[in-house]
Amino acid sequence: MRGVVFDGERVRVVDDLAVREPGPGEVLVAIAAAGLCHSDLSVVDGTIPFPAPVVLGHEGAGVVEAVGVGVTHVAPGDHVALSTLAHCGTCAECDRGRPTMCRQAIGRPGKPFTRGAGADPVYQFAANSAFAERTVVKAVQAVRIPGDIPLTSAALIGCGVLTGVGAVLNRARVDRGDSVVVIGTGGIGLNVLQGARLAGALTVVAVDAHPAKEAVARRFGATDFLTSAEGVRELLPTGADHVFECVGRVELIRQAVDLLDRRGQAILLGVPPATAEASFLVSSLYLDKSILGCRYGSSRPQRDIALYAELYRQGRLLLDELVTAVFPVEDFDKARAEAEAGRVARAVLTF
Ligand SMILES: [Zn+2]
Ligand SMILES: [Zn+2]
């Protein structure tokens, strides 16, 4: 079968991949569509160290092809969106509704794929590898969605939407009437904007250096748009309740902290290099302010993916508008060029 493989030096589309049958508690999914997220490119450029060879992709949706022993919540033919969280479901963190904190759900890459006549093993990225015609995931990762949602749109729920909307609803817990500033309006930032709208935030300021982003930012929920955070104080003289940094630059993290109102919180979603350090005035945090990290929107995938799918059906959550280009998997290089040039919110590959 076809898939996008990074061999440690080059990334290319191959047609000699195979995937094993689902074992107990696993699901085999025929991928229909998968979004190209920056994390996939970060594996290729080394920002995210990952063993190779590896099948890329971690934001996908498709149709269940087979289930392993003990899987009862989905059946062949069901449409599913996939999460990247291979949590155990039995530890104390899973039990208290914090699967993103499960210690089983990070840094244990499996090798369900093989390549070529020699059946050389190939790693799975983010417990997912959605850039393949078929992949095997744990049962907890396959979330059933209504069959009438286009799979090219549903594909985006599993990373960008869970991360951005989840950060607003689950981590920051934005409340009705709150003020929100979103720095950076790429794929994550747009989802933070629509999360703020869902939460009932009153003032939602989008900040992006590119003025051309204004229309789409307003579409997703921004009430104001600025090309620099300098102007935020004119709109919010006492500061903001929540500032989301979605770019991953330390000077913008500092700006996010400096923009906080009393009891405000800065939520860090951008990913700077692993050794980056940021600074802030200690005195600037005295008035009950906080700086929050957030993994994967603090999501509970079986609950949240189903919720976002239903909000989409009701017209309250935008997915189609996030898909700015669709390519067959053979054109991975074109999708990559679009993403690297920043021309698209999300390029989606189809299989
Ligand atoms: Zn991603
Ligand atoms: Zn667990």
Q: Is 215 exposed, middle or buried (0-12, 13-18, 19+ CB in 10 A)?
A: exposed
Given this model, what pLDDT does residue 340 score?
A: 85
Given this model, what pLDDT does residue 271 score?
A: 87
User: Which residues, in sequence order, are CB contacts of 15 under 8 Å at separation 6+?
Assistant: 1, 2
Q: Is the pLDDT of residue 344 over 80?
A: no
Instruction: Among the bound ligands, name the one nearest to the CA of residue 297.
Output: 1
Going along the chain from its start, the domains and CATH numbers come out as 3-150+319-350 (3.90.180.10), 164-295 (3.40.50.720)
Given this model, what pLDDT does residue 173 score?
A: 98
Given this model, what pLDDT does residue 342 score?
A: 73
User: Which residues, in sequence order, are CB contacts of 60 under 8 Å at separation 6+?
Assistant: 29, 31, 32, 33, 34, 35, 81, 82, 128, 130, 131, 135, 155, 158
CA of 132 to the centre of ligand 1 (A): 16
CA of 37 to the centre of ligand 1 (A): 5
Q: Give bridge partners of residue 203 from the DSSP assignment.
A: 179
**Which pTM was predicted?**
0.94
Given this model, what pLDDT does residue 169 score?
A: 98
- Mean pLDDT for the chain overall: 95
CA of 227 to the centre of ligand 2 (A): 42
CA of 236 to the centre of ligand 2 (A): 41
Residues 12-44: pLDDT tens digits?
A: 999 999 999 999 999 999 999 999 998 899 999
Instruction: Among the bound ligands, name the one nearest to the CA of residue 83.
Output: 1
Instruction: Among the bound ligands, name the one nearest to the CA of residue 188.
Output: 1
CA of 88 to the centre of ligand 2 (A): 4
Residues 59-81: pLDDT tens digits?
A: 999 999 999 999 999 999 999 99
Given this model, what pLDDT does residue 345 score?
A: 75
CA of 296 to the centre of ligand 1 (A): 9
Residues 302-315: pLDDT tens digits?
A: 999 999 999 999 99
Q: Is the pLDDT of residue 261 over 80?
A: yes
Interval 138-161 mean pLDDT: 96
CA of 41 to the centre of ligand 2 (A): 28
Instruction: Among the bound ligands, name the one nearest to the CA of residue 97.
Output: 2
Name the pLDDT band for 273 (thresholds 50, 70, 90).
confident
CA of 228 to the centre of ligand 1 (A): 26
CB 229 within 8 A of CB 209: no
Q: Is the pLDDT of residue 343 over 80?
A: no
